[in-house]
Amino acid sequence: MFRNRLGIMLIRMCQKGAIPGNAFDQTLKLTTTLTQQFPSQQCDRESPLYLEWDGFVSVMESWTNVMKSDSELRDLLREKAVSLARLVLNYDPGDALVLCCVLRCMNSGLLWVVDIDPQLLLQPYLQKIFSCVESLGKVESKTRKVMAAQNIAMQCFIKLCSQFGSLLLPYLPQLYEQYETAVKQDIISYSMRASFIEGFVILNLLRPDLEQQRVFLRQLMQDASTVLRELQRCGALSSLEGLVRYLGIHTSPEDPAFCPDHRAQLCYVGHVVSVVLKNSVLPSNRQPGQPLPASPEQHPSYQLTVPLLTQFVLPVIQLLHELWSGKAKHLTSSYFQHLYQLSIAEKEIIRGKVLSYSASQPGQGEGTSQMQNTLVSTLEVCLQCVANSFSVFGCQHMLDIGFVDACLKTIFPSTAGLDCWKMRGVIRGVTLPLVKLCPPEMWQSVLLPFLLQCCHTVFTKLRQSWEEIEENKTSAGVSAEQIEGIMYGAGDEGEISQEVIDEQFAIVLSRDYASLIEAVCMTKKQVEGEKGGEGGGEKCDSGEVEEEMEEVKEGGAGWRGSGIRDKWMSSHEIAPLASHLLSSGGAMCELLFISVFSGLSWGDTRCAHTFTNIAGLIIMKVSTGLLPVPVIGKLFEQVLVHYRLRGDTNRFRTTQVKR
């Protein structure tokens, strides 16, 4: 909020002629002062130098907002901006936390300066990134601050490749040579290797020859292929026991046989496949001069990624689902006994807190936390690979080669024992993207099987979760004030903390599920709605409507007495996919209705609003006799439960649901 207001203030100052040159002079003066200061000891988040640099990043991000809309001002401040950029690029604080701020400034606050004179500043930018990579890679103790600085440096490299790819393409061989040198010196981690590969893939796609692209991609993925062969040789992808032994979960980090690189290698292969697929050229985002393959098989990444989808991505998804379901607890050592619990970082996120770099991990070793984070990241990228493969190679082709059937036999059957928190990845990573990218002609053969399995699995889990939550609340006699106190740190977190966490799990998954159903059922109208007589009237401002609807979802006063809901309803309509499902009937149609009306009674206001809006749109579209009588009875039963729990208030009253 502070940064946003600071940016608005600077923009208004410059727009109103409030001497922007003098304002930038003050920024340059501040930069000079900061780049002459060096920490005498290791900094933390309360150190004055860190706080000053953190504020400076906000100032530079605000200048970015100013420069986006004012080319004349960019020309006016050209020389001063270049001088400022050089000061930042030449500064080496010698502290990882302050270096994070310097790299954040490079990543977001200074890129507009590079755009002013890329020929002059691109080389110093790259030198700064590689010098940071080299210096941080030689640090023996890889603290959270060091790893954070490495991640930001990689983000900066990827952004440079994205924004200045045509200028960097001639230097791709030299950049790759520097990367190979760093790999041989063993100063970059596997996660950094994946980030470098993403930048190289972005540049490689700008080559005009598909065969050149294919050859370089094979070179980039050679290391990942080597790791895959080792995984297969060790049996890590063929059974859960093999994966546990490969990762070392059956032992402890103190065991000489334990290899921390194994978990990093597993994640590395998934990230490589993900970045190659994510950055592949599609007809919709093809840039001028980029060649377009005539068929999926001729795509440069096809022969390299499709085998990994079936040999690595799907087996890893299945095995990690089984692992998180607790099927390997009997194989787990006492050191990793907390592996299947929620990590400290995830708990803090749910509680609305930020985990500091120095936060301890009570009750579990650092190795457990690292293993948790790595495996969660691996599962996320593998699920994203599935959706990206459909986007790159097309739904029809993935159906023809049997990948759709393989996904249906692998992904959803293995989710039976997952908790609500881990189920989010299936919605976000696979099903929701597929809803958005699947063409209408492939709905029946590709999308519907995914949608039916996903919705059935998630809805069953949510229904059971909310029933258990209501029973626990009734038996424990827990008040809303107690729950709120526990969530925000007031009061005791003893017996009830797990119940609170379970409820937050259910709320988060319910919102993701509501977003999925919303994507299936609703779409914005292409034509802006109007009120009043012909030729004139009050227009429906979609931005205003969405802003107020967000307030409604968060529990605000909403549309009570303002007519905002009518505006929102007039700006949305039933989606073509929902119309197809409603007209076809069948299991998915029934599940869609039951999900919408059951969601009205779930214990989350935001979900209730979302499902109320969906119900208002679809209930009038139901053809007579489309739904069996028992299903209609269930729908009205849920409406009654909804009114019993929520009350007949203006915030939830809809004439469509009443009917």
Residue 598 counted as domain residue: yes
Mean of pLDDT values over 341-365: 57
Phi and psi at 332, nearest 5°, equal -85, 140
pLDDT of 140-165, one tens digit each? 777 888 989 999 999 999 999 999 98
Task: State pTM to two decimals.
Answer: 0.83
The pLDDT-based confidence of 306 (bands split at 50, 70, 90) is: very high
Segment 476-495 shows an average pLDDT of 49
Q: Is the dihedral of CA 325, 327, 330, 332 positive or negative?
A: negative
Handedness of CA 417, 423, 427, 430 (dihedral sign): negative
- Cβ atoms of 525 and 518 closer than 8 Å: no
Which structural domain range is residue 520 located in? 450-527+542-658
The alpha carbons of the chain give a radius of gyration, in whole angstroms, of 27
- For the record, the structure tokens of 643 come out as 């009114």
**Dihedral pair phi/psi, residue 574, rounded to 5°:** -70, 135
Q: How confident is the model at residue 540 (pLDDT cuts 50, 70, 90)?
A: very low
Average pLDDT of every residue of the chain: 80
Residue 508 lies in a domain: yes
Q: For residue range 359-376, what is the model confidence (pLDDT) as tens digits?
A: 444 555 678 888 988 998
Nearest by Cα to 269 from 349, 187, 378, 409: 378
Element (H, E) at 453: helix 448-476
Q: Is the pLDDT of residue 110 over 80?
A: yes
Please say if the pLDDT value at position 1 is more than 70: no
* 463 inside domain: yes
Residue 402 domain-assigned (yes or no)? no
pLDDT of residue 26: 81
d(CA 99, CA 153): 10
* 613 is a domain residue: yes
The answer to whether 50 and 44 are in contact (CB under 8 A) is yes
pLDDT category at 295 given cuts 50, 70, 90 is confident
**Dihedral, CA of residue 371, residue 373, residue 376 and residue 377, to nearest 10:** -120
Question: In this structure, is residue 386 part of a structural domain?
Answer: no
Residue 557 included in any domain: yes
* 33 domain-assigned: no
pLDDT category at 182 given cuts 50, 70, 90 is very high
Q: Over 80: is that where the pLDDT of 10 sits?
A: no
Kind plus residue range of the DSSP H or E element containing 365: none
Our count of domains for the chain comes to: 1
Q: Which residues contact 118 (CB under 8 A, 6 or more apart)?
A: 164, 167
